[in-house]
Amino acid sequence: MFRFRDVFRKTPARLVPPLALAPDRAAWDAFLASPPGQAIFLLERELLRQHARDSEWTLEGYSRPARQTVAFAVDQLWGGREENGVLLPNLRERLVCPVTQLNNRQRLMASLIEEAVEQGRAPKTLYFMEEVTPIFAWSQANLRNVAAIHGSEYLGPDYPSGTVINGLHHEDIHALSFASDMFDLIVSNEVFEHIPSPPAAFRECHRVLKRDGEMIMTTPFFPTRDASIRRADIGPEGIVHLLPPMFHGNPVSEEGSLVFYDFGWDILDMAREAGFSRSVVEIHHAPEFGHLTVQPVFRFRK
């Protein structure tokens, strides 16, 4: 039986270091072409071969958010597909921890958030661009060295930022209600693709961060594209679809969230032009923690 633990060096359970940093496409491509990058694809191809006809299977690993070894669950939900009789799960959105219910990318983000919060002595003030999700609940219950954790959801264009509606804090990321220099860390999980103007949102995030504050973000990313593709816009009469509409799940709306952008490498330029001094993609992959596929995480520093 093929085992990842036979190939990868064991990483201390308290750390999830990136395999590489990519400030641009050339660095990304160089990593993928390197022996470590090629090993990832070869190893995961073998794993998928073993489960080519399994609609559900598990992978043993250490769930840092759960603080224990678990059997991560894989299935065909959230983008799993079949090609030539072979089942191909969406590993980024699955590998669900049975204890925390966090999937692959969410558990990685939870670990990175925890590491960021633990650095330094002063308690941190955090802002999450979400409020009713499992990772927000996990953060409230488990993060230490925190002065305050703020969360919000977007509840529509009819409300000003800062409004509380049925117990939920509403924020429009284009015009946040928070004071300048307020947060040590901003967390954005799969939000920016749903924003009509990412440059304006980056400027607001830069404004509300303290000096040397950080923003950690995931969003669907297309590393073979230099330029992002705008799928939709806001015109005088409302939404204008430039491409066939695409929706992602929304925890506060059964209609889902419209995708406005498919991001390429110019997302880093958007952040730099908003004032961020450091704008980079971290490349993560740690099978012993159940983090499969090449996982890009964006990190921006004020």
Q: Is residue 286 part of a domain?
A: yes
Q: Is residue 249 part of a domain?
A: no
Q: Is residue 47 part of a domain?
A: yes
- How many domains does the chain divide into? 1
Summary count for the chain: helices (H), strands (E): 6, 19
- If you count them, how many residues does the chain have? 302
Q: Is residue 162 part of a domain?
A: yes
Q: Is residue 237 part of a domain?
A: no
Domain CATH for 1: 3.40.50.150
- Rounded Cα–Cα distance for residues 53 and 138 (Å): 34
* CB hemisphere CA count around 230 (13 angstroms): 12
* Long-range pairs, 146-151, Cβ under 8 A, ≥24: 146/117, 147/123, 149/125, 150/125, 150/126, 150/178, 150/183, 151/127
Distances in Å between the Cα of 64 and the Cα atoms of 10, 16, 61, 151, 193 are 14, 9, 9, 22, 27
* Structural domain boundaries enclosing 133: 1-228+262-302
**pLDDT confidence of residue 9:** 43
Q: Is residue 234 part of a domain?
A: no
Q: Is residue 233 part of a domain?
A: no
**How is residue 64 written in tokens?**
């840092």
Element (H, E) at 249: strand 247-250
- Rounded Cα–Cα distance for residues 11 and 62 (Å): 11
- Rounded Cα–Cα distance for residues 22 and 280 (Å): 6
**Full pLDDT tens readout for the chain, 302 residues:** 334 444 444 444 556 789 999 999 999 999 999 999 999 999 899 999 999 999 999 999 999 999 999 999 999 999 999 998 899 999 999 999 999 999 999 999 999 999 999 888 889 999 999 999 999 999 999 998 999 999 999 999 999 999 999 999 999 999 999 999 999 999 999 999 999 999 999 999 999 999 999 999 999 999 999 999 999 999 898 899 999 999 988 776 777 899 999 999 999 999 999 999 999 999 999 999 999 999 999 999 99
pTM above 0.75, yes or no: yes
- Rounded Cα–Cα distance for residues 85 and 199 (Å): 43
Q: Is residue 172 part of a domain?
A: yes
Max Cα–Cα distance, the chain, nearest Å: 60
- Cβ atoms of 198 and 270 closer than 8 Å: yes
